Amino acid sequence: MGPLDQPRRPRLDDVASEVGVSPATVSLVLRGIAGPSAATRERVLAAAARLDYRPDRAASALASRRSRLIGVVMNVSNPFHTQLIEDVVEATQLAGYHLILNAVTRSQDEAQAIETLLDSRSEALVLLGSTLPVQRLKILGRQLPIVVVGRPVSAAGVEVVRTDDNKGLAQAVTYLVGLGHERIAYIGGGRGAVPALRGRAYQHAMRHFHLDDYMQILDGGETEAAGGQAARMLLLVERHPTAVVTFNDRCAVGLIDALLRAGVKIPETISVIGYDDSPVARLAHINLTTVSQNTHELAALAVRALTERMENGRTGKQDVVVPPHLVVRGTTASPLS
């Protein structure tokens, strides 16, 4: 059978003829828009399934001059971004849009990933943990709706959805103080807006409990290797802390691994708290106490912020802050007397 002999793909008109209604009615039903009766909806959906009708999305996009694509930029080395993506996909589908994904890698920076998404006719962008300069974000925000997830941004027209890191670090420090800890250290996440914010939040929490003299911030990073390096620095200190809060779970896992290899017991000698509640934190042999971010709510709010701009013409700027919660597992305990 040659190309000209292939059966013709069912069209909207075919479904309409099958049911005996107008193509406009079929379109309303398939797009989930109110109007047709329940009985008509049932007949249209049954006919569409029987004919194996699938909408031609490319043709629809050309006809409406809309792609209905939301571009998402993530960092492939960040497990928290991986958690977020599944929830972003679900939120995008529920809103009637489609997701196109690009990633920051060793060979592609964030700006390049964004350019590719723009070339692919993305109508809006979700930027997970963006590190772009504020001025660049302002320029992007004038081109199309964008939302930055996880980072505070002072830029008109740029939507922000983020976790309350002040509350997250406060919960971690408060819990450790409740266990009896005073010498609580913090391992940072390197340079950037979010590491800086969490570092300040740790200091604020320690001062709240009048533990200024016990504050200790060590250089760290986002990886297990950074946590391991921080552990080696801790072991050089004459009087090591009895508890450590880390920038993220990966750093915490690297810290724990290096301490255990050095013969330091967790949590008997040093308690450890991570940040993110990533899948590795929930593994039985890790069992990490950590600050959990609500990925489902972050994703839903991010997509809603964009669709409100695209569908309802909302202007202005939103900065939505989602509260985290501490998940207590096996890496924390009261300090040895």
Q: Any residues with CB less than 8 A from the CB of 321 and at least 6 apart, and which? A: 162, 163, 164
Q: At what angle do helices 79-94 and 295-312 cross, to 10 degrees?
A: 40
Domain boundary among 292, 309, 330: 292
User: From CA 323, how far away is CA 334, in angstroms rounded?
Assistant: 26
Q: Are residues 50 and 73 in the same domain?
A: no
129: left (phi over 0), alpha (psi -120 to 50) or beta: left
Identify whether 81 is part of a domain.
yes
Q: Are residues 169 and 231 in the same domain?
A: yes
Q: Side by side, which strands form the sheet with 69-75?
A: 98-104, 69-75, 124-128, 146-149, 158-163, 319-322
Identify whether 332 is part of a domain.
no
User: From CA 261, how far away is CA 208, in angstroms rounded?
Assistant: 34
Identify whether 328 is part of a domain.
no
Q: What is the pLDDT of residue 337?
A: 66
Q: Any residues with CB less than 8 A from the CB of 275 and at least 6 apart, and which? A: 168, 172, 198, 245, 246, 247, 248, 249, 252, 290, 291
Q: How far is CA 295 from CA 67, 78, 98, 302, 324, in A?
A: 26, 14, 19, 10, 10
Q: Are residues 152 and 178 in the same domain?
A: no
Q: What is the pLDDT of residue 229?
A: 96
Identify whether 305 is part of a domain.
yes
Domain boundary among 14, 32, 55: 55
Tell me which residue range forms the domain holding 114.
67-163+295-322
Instruction: Identify which of 147, 129, 288, 280 has the alpha carbon closest to the alpha carbon of residue 197.
Output: 129
Radius of gyration for the chain, computed over Cα atoms and rounded to the nearest angstrom: 25
Q: Are residues 177 and 131 in the same domain?
A: no
User: From CA 25, how far away is CA 22, in angstroms rounded?
Assistant: 5
**195 preceded by a cis bond (ω within 30 of 0):** no
Q: Could you tell me the pTM of the whole model?
A: 0.77
- Please list the pLDDT of the chain residue by residue as tens digits (337 residues): 444 445 567 887 888 898 998 887 887 787 666 678 888 888 988 888 888 887 665 555 444 456 789 999 998 888 888 889 999 999 998 888 989 999 998 899 999 999 999 888 899 999 998 989 898 998 888 889 999 999 888 888 899 999 999 999 999 999 999 999 999 999 999 888 889 999 999 999 999 999 999 999 999 998 999 999 999 999 998 889 999 999 999 999 999 999 999 999 999 999 999 999 998 999 999 999 999 999 999 999 999 999 998 887 777 778 899 999 999 999 999 998 6
Number of domains in the chain: 3
Q: Are residues 85 and 145 in the same domain?
A: yes
Instruction: Convert 307-321 into a string of H (helix), E (strand) and C (coil).
Output: HHHHHHCCCCCCEEE
Q: Are residues 199 and 225 in the same domain?
A: yes
Residue 312 sits in a domain of what CATH number? 3.40.50.2300
Q: Are residues 299 and 159 in the same domain?
A: yes
Instruction: Convert 59-80 into a string of H (helix), E (strand) and C (coil).
Output: HHHHHHCCCCEEEEEEECCCHH
Q: Are residues 259 and 209 in the same domain?
A: yes
Q: What is the pLDDT of residue 56?
A: 60
Cβ proximity of 258 and 231 under 8 Å: yes
Identify whether 302 is part of a domain.
yes
Residue 35 sits in a domain of what CATH number? 1.10.260.40
Upper half-sphere CA count for residue 21 (Cβ side, 13 Å): 21
Identify whether 337 is part of a domain.
no
Q: Are residues 311 and 212 in the same domain?
A: no
Q: Are residues 261 and 185 in the same domain?
A: yes
User: From CA 71, how far away is CA 101, in angstroms rounded?
Assistant: 6
Identify whether 335 is part of a domain.
no
Domain boundary among 31, 55, 79: 55
Identify whether 234 is part of a domain.
yes
Sort 307 into a burial class: Cβ within 10 Å, 0-12 / 13-18 / 19+. Answer: buried
Q: Are residues 232 and 256 in the same domain?
A: yes
Q: What is the pLDDT of residue 2?
A: 47
Instruction: Identify which of 109, 104, 156 has the alpha carbon closest to the alpha carbon of residue 135.
Output: 156
Q: Are residues 182 and 274 in the same domain?
A: yes
